[in-house]
Amino acid sequence: MSDHFIYYAESNIVCFLIFAIMLVHDRFNMDRQEKQIKYDHALIAFMCYFVSDIFWTAVVSGLLPKNTFTAILTNFLNYIIMAAVTYTWLHYVMAVEQAPNRNKRINRFAILFPFLIITVAMIVLLIFAPGFMLTDTFEPSIAFNILQTAVPFIYIGAVIVYVVRRSKQEKNLADKRKHIYIGFFPLIVVVGGLVQIALPKIPIFCFSCTVLMLIFYIQSMEVQISIDPLTGLNNRNQLHRFLEQSSNVRSENKKTYVMMIDVNDFKYINDNFGHSEGDRALVLIAESLQTVVKKSGISSFLGRYGGDEFILVIQSDNEDEIEAFIASLRSEITLKCLAHDPSYMITVGVGYDEWYSKQDSFNKCMQRADHKLYLDKERVKRHAS
């Protein structure tokens, strides 16, 4: 039995150290977004579980005495920590999904309410009716198990319902999968727990949690490397990766165009309305671009090139399709401006040129598109005056 304890303890310590490394790395990250902070809270909850699992195994293995006190302590501690794991994951999902009003005090209390009610009920029963909660051999009773799993399943159910509703609103299959993937993570953890019950001598739950959280952590790092944090679009790093794969930018049946988009009078927006309003303008442009790209169905790469400049690499049959795309973009920006009721109207300059062949470099094509962008901005200014 001591060998069993040592194996379990070593496994949990290794998993604890892996999570600690991820947590320390996140803590030293200067760009700490809300979803990253919520992810760290989930990491801490899992780390607490690894510690409690060592204590629970010591009791089961006989290294610590098994009595009313240790039985109540280990099982109640497991309940608290598993509730914390699912509670923090629910908040992480809400941050990733940008759920509205998620940080309002009344909503935070509503989420915490099931935990408070069931915890009070468990404490009252354990104090005044311990025989109802534990068997004669100090094992948790059916009532204890029901109360112990109620809160985690409530939170898991809330996550699943939320992501399913969000996925139904998406038309793009990739976006649907993204919602489902993050929402059904707790179910995978539950499966790991069930396998743990079937194979009690192997710490399956510990390892499954660690592997899955590592997958999310690696994906988060990938997003930080390749995604612009303000607009959610691809950044220059991702553009370079895209261009390195010739299959992305060359098609035998279609022409390839490079399009540059720039916000007109962006300095005026920052100087007169503040940099936060400038950021809002950039987000509005990014949302407009994403909307038009989805509606058009044109194969393209969309990214923020830098500052107030955006880039599109488009595969199209002809220039008429490109011109229609630009008209739709300008119309979409106007509609979003009116919907947001800003104190100014946002306009953009657009320039594009064909990337002719392998002898024509991407940088040269981008320079031509940038020159046409400048001419278009001048045209827009003359038209406005």
Residues 212 and 249 grouped into a single domain: no
For the record, the structure tokens of 352 come out as 């594009």
DSSP label of 201: T
Q: In which domain, by residue range, is 283 found?
A: 236-384
Residues 190 and 266 grouped into a single domain: no
Give the domain-ending residue among 226, 248, 270. 226
Residues 89 and 210 grouped into a single domain: yes
Residues 221 and 240 grouped into a single domain: no
Q: What's the confidence (pLDDT) of residue 289?
A: 92
Return the bridge partners of 313, or none: 258, 301
Global confidence as pTM: 0.69
| Dihedral angle, C-alpha 79, 40, 280, 290, nearest 10 ° | -80
Give the domain-ending residue among 193, 226, 259. 226
CATH of the domain at 296: 3.30.70.270
Q: What's the confidence (pLDDT) of residue 34?
A: 80
How far apart CA 335 and CA 328 sit, in angstroms, is 10
Residues 169 and 44 grouped into a single domain: yes
Is residue 345 within 8 Å of 337, Cβ to Cβ?
A: yes
- Is 326 contained in some domain? yes
Residue 158 C-beta-side C-alpha neighbours within 13 Å: 20
How far apart CA 115 and CA 131 sit, in angstroms, is 23
Residues 45 and 192 grouped into a single domain: yes
Q: What is the DSSP string of 134-145?
A: B-TTS-B-HHHH
Average pLDDT per block of 10 residues along the chain, 385 residues long: 82 94 81 79 93 89 89 90 90 84 89 94 90 88 89 89 84 70 75 74 83 82 78 87 68 82 88 85 91 83 91 87 92 86 80 83 90 87 66
- Is 321 contained in some domain? yes
CATH of the domain at 39: 1.20.1070
Give the domain-ending residue among 226, 258, 293. 226
- Is 231 contained in some domain? no
Angle at 366 between CA 365 and CA 372, to 5 degrees: 95
The structure tokens 């400049």 sit at: 309
Query: 292-298 long-range CB contacts below 8 Å, 24 or more apart?
Result: 292/325, 292/328, 292/329, 292/332, 294/171, 294/172, 295/328, 296/321, 296/324, 296/325, 296/328, 298/325
The structure tokens 């707790």 sit at: 186
Residues 221 and 198 grouped into a single domain: yes
User: 159 Cβ partners below 8 Å, 6+ apart?
Assistant: 86, 89, 90, 93, 183, 186
Residues 216 and 244 grouped into a single domain: no
- Is 315 contained in some domain? yes
How far apart CA 14 and CA 16 sit, in angstroms, is 5
Looking at the structure of the chain, the number of domains it has is 2
Residues 303 and 284 grouped into a single domain: yes
Residues 353 and 253 grouped into a single domain: yes
Residues 106 and 217 grouped into a single domain: yes
Phi and psi of 195, rounded to 5°? -65, -35
* Helical ranges in the chain per DSSP H: 2-27, 34-60, 68-96, 105-128, 130-133, 142-169, 173-183, 185-198, 204-226, 236-244, 246-249, 266-273, 275-296, 319-340, 362-384
Is residue 242 within 8 Å of 50, Cβ to Cβ?
A: no
Residues 286 and 151 grouped into a single domain: no
